[in-house]
Amino acid sequence: MTPIVGLTMARIAERRDALTSTYMEAVQMAGGIPVLLPNMVSQDALNAVDGLILTGGGDFHPKWYGEPNRGTRMETVSVERDATEMTLIREAGRRGIPMLGICRGIQALAVTLGGTLIQDLASPIAHSQSAPRPEPTHTVEIDPASHLFTVLGLLKTVRVNSFHHQAVADVPPGWQVSARSEDGMIEAMEGQIGGTWSLGVQWHPEDMVQTGEGSALKIFQGLIETATCYHVQGRRN
């Protein structure tokens, strides 16, 4: 069987949602079927999926983690998207649906599950690169004790791309940091929800899959493997 993976979408204008095709292509290359989840969806949309990807995009409203604005780019905030993703994350966690958060997606996981964000980074590393999107520009160190280490084929370091000005400050209760950049920034986190591994990464592996970057595809293959197990166990409603 081929697992179905739901992907959240960016709110790019009033009543208009969109998603870059590289996400869908990466899911297909990894062996899944991508379906799009617009920013009006209820938790019932998860009845049809075996995995969930929280995609990149604008900033999360700081009210969701109890802070005033300290550098959040409010012009990029969509409270409709925030609310949709938080609903999906909570319900996916309740059902044990595996999740992958990418860039904003790792932040969505953190905020929804009880973590916090750095609202505006100050770092010697360019976390918002000017190089083309598929080009890796800095290195992250993988924790050898992590699930991510296994997913990546026991790689201790990977080169990644970077397009963010916010990052996870505190991971949610029960989650662990699985990768950091050279400046100590959290680059990946993971946790088991409902007995299923879920993962968030701060970089954009979907943009590197087409270039043949093996570690990028492995991240999606790891989700597809877990989503397949979810389906085979008959857990989809």
CATH number of the domain bearing residue 224: 3.40.50.880
- Residue 237 counted as domain residue: no
Query: Which candidate, 58, 57, 55, places its Cα nearest to that of 26?
Result: 55
Q: Using alpha carbons only, give the angle 215, 227, 84 rounded to the nearest 5 degrees.
A: 95
Average pLDDT over residues 141-148: 97
- Residue 192 counted as domain residue: yes
Radius of gyration of the chain (CA): 16
Q: For 7-29, what is each residue's pLDDT tens digit? A: 999 999 888 999 999 999 999 99
- Residue 9 counted as domain residue: yes
What's the pLDDT score for residue 23?
A: 98
Average pLDDT over residues 180-192: 95
Residues 6+ apart with CB under 8 A from 148: 142, 178, 179, 188, 190, 199, 201
Rounded to 10 degrees, what is the CA torsion of 220, 226, 232, 235?
-110
Predicted confidence band of residue 228 (pLDDT cuts 50, 70, 90): very high
Mean pLDDT for all residues in the chain:
92
Distance CA 95, CA 156 (A): 32
- Residue 95 counted as domain residue: yes
165: DSSP letter: S
What's the pLDDT score for residue 212?
A: 73
Query: Is residue 229 annotated as a catalytic residue, yes or no?
Result: no
Average pLDDT over residues 116-136: 75
Residue of 85, 187, 190, 206 marked catalytic: 206
**The residue count for the chain:** 237
Average pLDDT over residues 161-175: 92
Asked if 29 and 51 count as a contact pair (C-beta separation under 8 A), the reply is: no
Predicted confidence band of residue 236 (pLDDT cuts 50, 70, 90): low
- Helices 21-30 and 214-232: crossing angle in degrees, nearest 10, is 70
Residue of 127, 147, 164, 204 marked catalytic: 204
Residue of 103, 127, 187, 225 marked catalytic: 103
Average pLDDT over residues 212-231: 92
- Residue 88 counted as domain residue: yes
Asked if 23 and 34 count as a contact pair (C-beta separation under 8 A), the reply is: yes
Average pLDDT over residues 164-171: 92
User: What's the domain count of the chain?
Assistant: 1
Give the structural domain span for 160: 4-232
Query: Which candidate, 6, 2, 55, 1, places its Cα nearest to that of 34?
Result: 6
- Residue 134 counted as domain residue: yes
Least confident of 13-17, 91-95, 139-143, 174-178: 13-17
Query: Is residue 165 annotated as a catalytic residue, yes or no?
Result: no
| pTM exceeds cut of 0.85 | yes
Residue found by looking up tokens 């591994």 in the block: 197
pLDDT greater at residue 87 or residue 42: 87
Q: For 193-213, what is each residue's pLDDT tens digit? A: 888 899 999 999 999 998 877
Q: For 19-55, what is each residue's pLDDT tens digit? A: 999 999 999 999 999 999 999 878 888 999 999 999 9
- Residue 186 counted as domain residue: yes
Predicted confidence band of residue 173 (pLDDT cuts 50, 70, 90): very high
- Residue 57 counted as domain residue: yes
